[in-house]
Structure 1
Amino acid sequence: MAAQQYSLQQLAEFLQCEFSGDVDATVSAIATLEQAQPLHLTFLAQEKFEKYLPECEAGILVLKPAQQTLFDGNKLLVEDPYMAYAQLSHLFDPRQRLAEGIHPTAVVAKTANISKSARIGAGVVIGENTQVGANSEISAGCVIGDTSVIGDDCVLHANVTVYAGVSIGHQVVVHSGTVLGSDGFGFAPSKDGWVKIHQIAGVQIGNRVEIGSNTSIDRGALTDTVIEDGVIIDNLVHIAHGVHIGQGTAIAGCVGIAGSTTIGKNCQIAGAVAINGHIEIADNTYFHGGTIVTKGISEPGAYASILPVQNVKKWRRNSVRYTQLDDIATRLKNLEKAVK
């Protein structure tokens, strides 16, 4: 299939912005400043990349009006080039939609309610009393359990598993390999071993949520696991049973959040953060990558709990000193008492 081409004027109208250059100049893809060729659109998001402009061969460049004299070619002039790039990326998305209707190899329960405009791919299994909304796409190999609800304009990429009793809002994207509604990790110890606690609640996913690949969101034990509107979740994230994620929060890859924790609105959780269970995190909290969160955070702000990378010899010395901190603190208190 031939790539869609857009002229300078068409893109300016799409962004509703000023422009400069040949109105008929066309581009068919987006590239970096370093790699852009005449059929490429690119953008200048930060001043440190201005050094690439003298050799940039892009057909169209997105940049700020104050920077327009730095490039002689065709330009789209916006106050926020990175946001403009995000908006324009929708036009150049190469993903092809599934054909409307239900693929003949799909297995759909008779009691399922599937919108006529939904697109159900090959090998999909949809359980009893499940709903799939208008214009939603369920890609090949997905399994949707009984009584689950998929809203309008959702995209479930290949091999997503949605257990029974999961509710997904509108305009939600779930990437391949993700599991929604698996059992939370609930067991009671006994003299005969672990006794499973059945997880009888569900999962609620809000509107405009995006969930990366191979992420697992567990169902609750007694209360639902809740992901509010506008949350974005990266790949390889684990969200345990009964967790509540506030609106607009962003969670990067390899994060683990233990059960019954509440994360506030508009938080940013960087990669490999580990968050303890049964705690509350305030709105507008930011955790640096690798932070270990053992207690609740009541004041918004930026938090970190790991040492920066260092030479291994220095790290070994500092590691030994770390184990001596308690003894040093005790000796310091004794000295303070002695001089009073």
Structure 2
Amino acid sequence: MRTRLGKLVERLGGQLTGDAEAEVSGIAPLDSADASHITFLSNPKFRNQAGQTKAAALILSPADDAALAGVYGGSRIVTDNPYAYFARAAQFFVELYAEPVRPGIHPAAVVHPEARVDAGATIGPNVTVEAGAAIAAGAVIDAGCFIGRNARVGEGTHFFANVAFHAGCEIGKRGIIHSGAVIGADGFGFARENGVYIKIPQTGRVVIGDDVEIGANTTVDRGALADTIIEDGVKLDNQIQIGHNCQIGAHTAMAGCVGVAGSAKIGKYCTFGGAAMVLGHLTVVDNVHVSSGSMVTRSILEPGQYTGFYPLAKNAEWEKSAAIVRNLGTMREKIRELEKTIKSLTEKK
């Protein structure tokens, strides 16, 4: 199955230089693309490779186009953001090749009579939909998913196999939740009395906005009293933990294994590298970027890049540095005493 370059540009925009009637079947990397592919250049460091690619068309920026116009012989699609254009073109080809989804409820699904499933939704085998749940048009719920009582699934949202979406939770339109994710499990809430932990009922929900993607085996806990909130456009990678009563601002993205403890409030347009950690009850303002492996131990009230981890070193060097760090308190007191002595001697002179 192929599409014309002209049709692709009509849909996605950009300025086409070359043969609008040329047909392509997909996207490939610069070094492996052939005459049936388009490819893209988003980093000027790869201009030499782009000039030698055999792709039928190249997506590139105006600056790269000026540099490669006399070198690359194929068609060129010029756009201000080649990487974003590549992403949309990839979506186009996925849609082109996708098997059509047939709405309906699989005979092996268990749907409570009081649940509301739109006729345009697709419910796979061994799905359980409990009483009061509502699933909107165009939603796709793959095999083995669980939709709890009074939960809400918005239009065009896709649950991959074996997602658990617990009672009262909500997700908006065009969401994607990958396999193994658990949305709305109890938060970690206990009171201690006489050495014994007493469970605090977790009666809040998880409320998720539009265009949110949640990775495989990620967990988002329900609130204790108020709701856990995931705003529009948030992207969560695999194996992330979001604690109860957290708020994640719109269009924030978190890489794998990030952990956010309960009641933390994260702003909009933030990014968190893999395995970053945020302690509970902290506030992180909009446009904060936390490096991989960093531990956020205090609120961040100013936008910017933040890093908090000790540099990697050979073990013997690390042990020496750790020993110095352990003795900093004693060294500080000794330095203060020396400063006092120097000051006293100076004053006597």
> TM-score, normalised to structure 2's length?
0.92
Amino acid across the alignment from 2:179: S
Report if the CA contact (8 A) 1:209-1:229 is conserved.
yes
1:137-171: CA deviation from partner (whole Å, max 9, x where unpaired): 11111110000011111111111100111011111
Which residue of the partner structure matches residue 85 of structure 1? 86
2:38 paired residue number: 41
Query: Equivalent residue of 1:50, what SS?
Result: helix
Residue pair 2:235, 2:251 contacting (<8 A) in 1 also: yes
CA distance in 1, matches of 2:329, 2:46: 47
Question: 1:339 corresponds to which letter in structure 2?
Answer: I
Q: How far has the Cα of 1:74 moved from its partner?
A: 1.7
1:149 to 147, 152, 158: 152
1:334 pairs with 2:331: no
In structure 2, do the counterparts of structure 1 residues 265 and 43 end up closer, same or farther at CA, with 3 Å as the change threshold? Answer: same
| Structure having the higher Rg | 2
Assess, with a 3 A threshold, how the Cα gap between structure 1 residues 117 and 308 changes in structure 2: closer, same or farther: same
CA shift, 1:223, in A, is 0.9
Shift in alpha-carbon separation, 1:172–1:319, aligned structure 2, 3 A: same
1:6 maps onto 2:7 in alignment: no
* 1:53 matches 2:50: yes
1:286 aligns with 2:289: yes
2:103 corresponds in structure 1 to 100
SS of 1:334's equivalent in the other structure is: helix
Matches within 5 A, 1:1-340: 4-68=1-65, 69=69, 70-93=71-94, 95-191=98-194, 193-340=196-343
* Alpha-carbon distance between aligned partners in 2 of 1:17 and 1:263, rounded to the nearest angstrom: 35
Moved more, 111-120 or 53-62: 53-62
Per-residue CA deviations over 1:160-215 (Å, capped at 9, x if unaligned) read: 10011101111111111100000001122233632211111111001111111110
The ranges of structure 1 where at least 4 consecutive aligned residues each deviate by more than 6 angstroms after the TM superposition are none
Consecutive unaligned residues of structure 2, counting only runs of 5 or more, are 344-349
Structure 1 CA distance for aligned equivalents of residues 331 and 98 of structure 2? 60
Is the Cα contact below 8 Å between 1:98 and 1:121 reproduced in 2?
Answer: no
Contact kept, 8 Å, 2:136 with 2:154, in 1: the verdict is yes
- Between stretches 57-66 and 210-219, larger displacement belongs to 57-66
SS at match of 1:320: helix
CA RMSD of aligned residues (A): 1.5
Task: Give the share of equivalent positions with the same residue, in percent.
Answer: 39
1:220-261 superposed Cα distances (whole Å, 9 cap, x missing partner)? 111110101111111100001111111111111100011111
* 1:98–1:120 contact (8 Å) kept in structure 2: no
Q: Alpha carbons of 1:95 and 1:276: their partners in 2 closer, same or farther (altered >3 Å)?
A: farther
The letter of the residue matching 1:313 is A
TM-score by length of 1: 0.95
How many angstroms does 1:267 deviate by? 1.1
For structure 1, which runs of at least 5 residues remain unmatched after alignment?
Answer: none
How much has 1:42 moved relative to structure 2?
Answer: 0.9
1:95 to partner: Cα distance = 4.7
Residue type matched to 2:192 in 1?
P
In the alignment, is the contact (CA less than 8 A) between 2:15 and 2:79 conserved in 1? yes
Q: Does the 8 A contact of 2:223 with 2:244 survive in 1?
A: yes
Write out per-residue CA displacement over residues 267-291 of structure 1, whole angstroms, 9 at most, x where no aligned residue.
1111101111111111111111111
Q: Deviations over 1:113-134 (max 9, x none)?
A: 1111111111111000100011
Shift, 1:97, TM fit: 4.9
Is this contact kept in 1: 2:33–2:54, CA < 8 A? Answer: yes
1:4-60 CA-to-partner distances (Å, cap 9, x unmatched) read 312221122122222122222222121111221222221000101112124311122
Contact 2:44 2:64 in 1 (8 A): no
97 and 235 in structure 1: CA distance in 2 versus 1, 3 angstrom threshold: farther
SS at match of 2:93: coil
Q: 1:124 to 1:234 in 2, by over 3 A?
A: same
Greater CA drift, 252-261 or 328-337: 328-337
Describe the shift of the 1:97–1:242 C-alpha distance in structure 2 as closer, same or farther (beyond 3 A).
farther
Partner Cα distance (2:231, 2:172) in 1: 10
Instruction: Provide the residue aligned with 2:346 in structure 1.
Output: none
